[in-house]
């Protein structure tokens, strides 16, 4: 009998750890509408039995909307890179569904400091955005969305009726559809009938790059502010369409943890976030604690995670008059995993996520008026703070690099920030900002705090530990000259109507084929895209290694001064006819918004004639990038995105095992980003470089190449933060060691503007983003360090004294000659998170002009 009881007990325990029907998740005191399909009816398995794929998740959301139209409206926000729909369910009472637009308009009015006083919040529903699994391999959130959607559509009784009457729920079942699909496929294809819980099993160890990222291997939870990616852009449009009061962000953490909910570490809250925000976050946290206590789940708060970087889903709402809530559930990764806390099942992780969805809605309903009042107060207070701020506006130049300016404009507009043309010339900090073609952003507008976080530089911090980056000054990232306009300079006469961008580029010349050639301005952002397409058409081109001034070629022409790096397209000795080339250059000028000018003669008024040896042939790049295990996926993804999405340039992605066995002679450019490369054949790589290849290295790949004898780069060492004879408390270790990490700060690199790697730049300082401890010594060759850090390079962000000393007077970029090839070592990440457009030109120069650099003389080869 005892044996039977023991076996039965094991059966019950095992069943509780594996597949569960809905009763395991749902409150037992509620009745449910039988007309509403259960998840299993649509996805063909119980919730948590398998990992739901994105297509089945969407199918269930559609089924819910079809079955409960009085409660649920389904919207499609847009589509991902892989054309998966981003769906949003709007769930509320039948009465509210009938007046959704009226409710939405009320919420928009509540964020207007001028009109919000007239809004009566007493009968007004609160708006709550429930968001799931922005990291695709943190799937308990998206799988919990199945349970939450069923509950909100099917639950019956006074409790749910009151909830839906007082709350409009914007229900986002998957922040990252492409990543979720990738991970669910992995987890499901490795599931055994008899669940395996050994963490070493393949089920729990995805192949590179894993399901965390979107199609281009980006972490979408860092993209709320820059909004580079289509998923973020689609979501932000709906966020600002509704202006929610609360947004939940359901994540997963390490398997040996429990459950985290905010507030985070108090000392790591961004100073722009008001204290009231943290007070409301803590109030809401009490409901999470109560609900998790009911089911006996362990949790923690005010540890590990912070509220500093505004590009995350849990912090972006904080600077938009709302409350962002981060949930972090210990991850089962697969279906059942052994952890330090015992067996962790997938259904258990789902139940905790569903439970905190209920706690959020309960707290939102009870604290409804307080949250609505806070939203109104936030924007009113922001308006008052702007009025008292000594900085009255920010001005930035838009005429030098028009397309970078337009991308910056677009980002500002996505965040509902008003931008004006500058009405008068002004000079600040020695830089002249010209009316009509330069722009101004007054701080006196509802998005005051968002304007501050986009433009301000930060050098003082309460804490020295950070979960993410410490600075993100956007004009520096975009490579735009900018300045704060003080109250002494500012007046409304500087504003000249709202603007949405600037038109750059275009074809200049007579509307007929030139018999001599055309010149492409390399300063334009998309010039590399135009150059590659010219080469792809079979057109031979040359790069100018000196500046030159063309003659007046037609009546309206005044001649044009073209800088180093400009691309000359001769007509003679081309395969294509002059008519064909004419049509191509006109099309490319318009398509890429680049300046291409027709020339009738090789004579110039300044500089070298167009037939000079100072114009050198540019070969078409054939690019491969090393990817795979050990490689930083986001670094690689940033380059993939730059080449594929922005520049329309293909690149081959080689895993080390493929690299080791294939012929490399089809590639003239290889790229290696941060990471480790233990399985890469270094001898084969070095031989390829010696044979004439261009190797572009960034971050830790720079160290790897030096350690393996491919370059002779030397590195600076950092000092110790403590004296070796000191006796310290064990508990001080985290703070001391953590402060030595460089999470991400901005440094200004001095530039040799005559160097091919600097072609297209017109400022002597280029801002680069550093999030590593690669400190290169300057090359002994005086011409081989075209980008370098001076004695005071820090522009914004936190860095310890020890690391600061190492960065000072170090090299940012070094060029090595290896045989007939070149190795370009870039200590930092010039393409950081794809919004660091100020570094894009450096990287594209390395691709197109790296083969021309003579590291011994500092000049291009004759």
- What tens digit of pLDDT does each residue of 662-685 get? 999 999 999 999 999 999 999 999
What pLDDT is attached to residue 723?
67
What pLDDT is attached to residue 540?
98
Q: What is the mean pLDDT of residues 836-842?
A: 98
The answer to pTM > 0.85 is yes
Give the contacts of 108 (CB within 8 A, at least 6 positions apart): 243
**Residue 379 pLDDT more than 70?**
yes
- Angle among Cα 414, 760, 609 to the nearest 5 degrees reads 145
- How many other CB atoms are there within 10 angstroms of residue 510's CB atom? 13
| Portion of the chain with pLDDT greater than 90, in percent | 86
What pLDDT is attached to residue 287?
98
**Residue 492 pLDDT more than 50?**
yes
Per-residue model confidence as pLDDT tens digits over 287-300 = 999 999 999 999 99
Per-residue model confidence as pLDDT tens digits over 420-469 = 999 999 999 999 999 988 999 999 999 999 999 999 998 888 777 777 88
- How many other CB atoms are there within 10 angstroms of residue 517's CB atom? 23
Q: pLDDT band at 301, cuts 50/70/90?
A: very high
Q: What is the mean pLDDT of residues 366-373?
A: 98
Token pair listed for 591: 């398509």
**Residue count (the chain):** 862
**Residue 389 pLDDT more than 80?**
yes
**Residue 726 pLDDT more than 80?**
no
Strands (E), 229-294: 246-253, 259-261
The residues with which 485 forms a beta bridge, in sequence order, are 393
User: Rounded to whole angstroms, how far apart are CA atoms 487 and 53?
Assistant: 55
Mean pLDDT, the chain, integer: 93
What pLDDT is attached to residue 510?
81
DSSP β-ladder status, 126-132 and 246-253: parallel
Per-residue model confidence as pLDDT tens digits over 576-603 = 999 999 999 999 999 999 999 999 999 9
User: Rounded to whole angstroms, how far apart are CA atoms 398 and 403?
Assistant: 9
What pLDDT is attached to residue 505?
78
Q: In this predicted structure, which of 242-256, 310-324, 607-621, 737-751 has the lowest mean pLDDT?
A: 737-751
Token pair listed for 763: 């400022």
Token pair listed for 728: 């310290």
What pLDDT is attached to residue 738?
66
Q: In this predicted structure, which of 177-186, 509-518, 816-825 has the lowest mean pLDDT?
A: 509-518
Give the contacts of 69 (CB within 8 A, at least 6 positions apart): none
- How many other CB atoms are there within 10 angstroms of residue 439's CB atom? 26
Q: What is the mean pLDDT of residues 95-124?
A: 96
Q: What is the mean pLDDT of residues 233-249?
A: 98
Per DSSP, helices labelled H in 499-572 are: 527-536
What pLDDT is attached to residue 3?
43
Q: Look at residue 378 and give its three-state secondary structure.
A: helix
Per-residue model confidence as pLDDT tens digits over 135-182 = 999 999 999 999 999 999 999 999 999 999 999 999 999 999 999 999
Cβ(829)–Cβ(701) under 8 Å? no
Dihedral sign, Cα of residue 249, residue 253, residue 258, residue 261: negative
Q: pLDDT band at 332, cuts 50/70/90?
A: very high
What pLDDT is attached to residue 60?
98
Rounded to the nearest angstrom, the gap between the alpha carbon of residue 694 and the centroid of all alpha carbons in its chain is: 28
**Residue 820 pLDDT more than 60?**
yes
What pLDDT is attached to residue 503?
66
Q: pLDDT band at 497, cuts 50/70/90?
A: confident
**Residue 261 pLDDT more than 50?**
yes
Q: 479 vs 436, which has greater pLDDT?
A: 479
Q: Which residues of 756-793 are buried (b: 16+ CB within 10 A; e: fewer)?
A: bbbbbbebebbbbbbbbbbbbebbebebbbbbbbeeeb
What pLDDT is attached to residue 13?
41
DSSP β-ladder status, 506-508 and 517-520: unpaired
**Residue 792 pLDDT more than 70?**
yes
Per-residue model confidence as pLDDT tens digits over 11-32 = 334 444 566 899 999 998 899 9
What pLDDT is attached to residue 550?
93
What pLDDT is attached to residue 741?
82
| φ and ψ of 703, to 5 deg | -65, -45
Q: pLDDT band at 45, cuts 50/70/90?
A: very high
- Angle among Cα 202, 206, 212 to the nearest 5 degrees reads 150
Q: Look at residue 317 and give its three-state secondary structure.
A: helix
Per-residue model confidence as pLDDT tens digits over 398-408 = 887 889 999 99
What pLDDT is attached to residue 10?
37
Can you give the C-alpha Rg of the chain in angstroms?
29
> Quick one: which H or E segment has residue 363?
helix 346-366
Per-residue model confidence as pLDDT tens digits over 735-756 = 667 677 888 999 999 999 999 9
Which among 702, 721, 701 is positioned nearest to 713, based on CA atoms?
702
Alpha-carbon distances of 387 from 273, 321, 380, rounded to whole Å:
18, 18, 11
Strands (E), 516-648: 517-520, 542-544, 548-550, 561-562, 567-570, 595-599, 604-607, 615-617, 623-626
């Amino acid at each position: 009998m005892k044996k039977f009881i023991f076996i039965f007990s094991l059966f019950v325990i095992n069943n509780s750890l594996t597949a569960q029907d809905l009763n395991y998740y749902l409150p037992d005191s509620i009745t449910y509408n039988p007309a509403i399909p259960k998840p299993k009816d649509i996805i063909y398995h119980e919730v948590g039995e398998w990992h739901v794929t994105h297509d089945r998740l969407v199918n269930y959301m559609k089924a819910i909307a079809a079955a409960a139209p009085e409660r649920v409206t389904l919207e499609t926000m847009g589509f991902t890179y892989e054309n998966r729909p981003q769906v949003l369910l709007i769930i509320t009472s039948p009465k509210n569904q009938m007046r959704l637009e009226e409710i939405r308009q009320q919420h928009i009015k509540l964020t207007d400091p001028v009109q919000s006083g007239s809004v009566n919040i007493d009968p007004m529903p609160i708006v709550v955005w429930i968001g799931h699994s922005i990291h695709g391999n943190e799937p308990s959130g998206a799988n919990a969305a199945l349970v939450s959607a069923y509950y909100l559509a099917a639950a019956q009784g006074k409790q749910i009726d009151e909830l839906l009457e007082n709350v409009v729920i914007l229900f986002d079942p998957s922040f990252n559809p492409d990543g979720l699909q990738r991970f669910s496929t992995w987890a499901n294809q490795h599931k055994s009938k008899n669940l395996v819980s050994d963490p070493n099993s393949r089920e729990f160890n995805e192949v590179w790059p894993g399901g965390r990222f979107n199609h281009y291997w980006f972490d979408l939870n860092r993209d709320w502010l820059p909004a580079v990616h289509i998923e973020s852009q689609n979501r932000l449009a709906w966020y600002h369409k509704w202006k929610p009061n609360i947004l939940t962000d359901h994540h997963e953490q390490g398997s040996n943890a429990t459950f985290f909910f905010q507030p985070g570490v108090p000392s790591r809250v961004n100073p722009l976030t008001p204290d009231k925000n943290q007070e409301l976050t803590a109030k809401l946290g009490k409901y999470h604690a109560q609900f998790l206590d009911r089911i006996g789940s362990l949790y923690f708060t005010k540890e590990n995670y912070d509220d500093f970087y505004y590009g995350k889903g849990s912090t972006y709402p904080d600077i938009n008059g709302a409350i962002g809530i981060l949930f972090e559930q210990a991850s089962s990764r697969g279906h059942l995993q052994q952890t330090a806390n015992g067996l962790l099942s997938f259904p258990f992780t789902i139940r905790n996520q569903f439970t905190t969805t209920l706690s959020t809605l309960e707290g939102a309903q009870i604290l409804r008026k307080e949250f609505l009042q806070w939203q109104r107060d936030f924007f009113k207070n922001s308006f008052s703070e702007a009025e008292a701020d000594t900085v009255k506006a920010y001005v930035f130049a838009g005429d030098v690099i028009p397309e970078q300016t337009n991308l910056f404009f677009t980002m500002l507009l996505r965040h509902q920030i008003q931008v004006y043309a500058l009405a008068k010339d002004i000079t600040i900090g020695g830089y002249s900002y010209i009316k009509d073609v330069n722009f101004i952003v007054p701080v006196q507008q509802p998005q005051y705090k968002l304007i501050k976080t986009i433009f301000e530089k930060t050098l003082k911090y309460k804490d020295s530990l950070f979960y993410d980056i410490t600075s993100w000054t956007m004009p520096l990232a975009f490579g735009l000259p900018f300045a704060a306009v003080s109250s002494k300079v500012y007046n409304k006469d500087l504003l000249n109507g709202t603007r949405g961008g600037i038109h750059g580029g275009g074809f200049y010349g007579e509307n007929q084929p030139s018999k001599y050639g055309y010149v492409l301005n390399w300063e334009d952002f998309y010039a590399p895209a135009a150059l590659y397409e010219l080469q792809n058409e079979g057109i031979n081109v040359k790069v100018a290694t000196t500046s030159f001034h063309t003659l007046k070629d037609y009546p309206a022409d005044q001649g044009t001064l073209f800088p180093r790096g400009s691309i000359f397209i001769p007509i003679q000795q081309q395969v294509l006819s002059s008519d064909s080339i004419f049509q191509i250059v006109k099309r490319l000028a318009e398509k890429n918004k680049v300046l291409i000018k027709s020339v009738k003669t090789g004579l110039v008024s300044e500089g070298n004639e167009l037939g000079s040896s100072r114009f050198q042939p540019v070969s078409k790049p054939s690019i491969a990038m090393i990817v795979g295990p050990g490689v930083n996926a986001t670094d690689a993804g940033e380059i993939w995105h730059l080449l594929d999405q922005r520049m329309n340039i293909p690149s081959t992605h080689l895993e080390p095992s493929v690299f080791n066995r294939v012929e490399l002679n089809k590639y003239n450019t290889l790229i290696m980003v941060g990471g480790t490369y233990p399985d890469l054949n270094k001898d084969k790589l070095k031989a390829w470089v010696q044979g004439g290849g261009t190797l572009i290295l960034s971050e830790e790949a720079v160290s790897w190449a030096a350690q393996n004898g491919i370059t002779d780069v030397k590195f600076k060492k950092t000092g110790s933060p403590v004296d070796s004879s000191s006796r310290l408390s064990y508990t001080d270790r985290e703070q001391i060691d953590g402060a030595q990490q460089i999470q991400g700060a901005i440094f200004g690199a001095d530039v040799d503007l005559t160097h091919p790697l600097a072609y297209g730049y017109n400022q002597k300082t280029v801002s680069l983003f550093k999030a590593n401890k690669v400190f290169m010594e300057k090359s002994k060759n005086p011409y081989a360090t075209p980008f370098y850090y001076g004695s005071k390079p820090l522009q914004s962000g936190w860095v310890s004294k020890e690391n600061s000393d190492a960065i000072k007077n170090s090299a940012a970029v070094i060029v090595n000659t290896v045989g007939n090839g070149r190795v370009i070592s870039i200590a930092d990440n010039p393409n950081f998170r794809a919004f660091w457009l100020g570094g894009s030109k450096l990287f594209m120069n390395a691709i197109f002009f790296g083969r021309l650099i003579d590291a011994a003389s500092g000049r291009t080869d004759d």
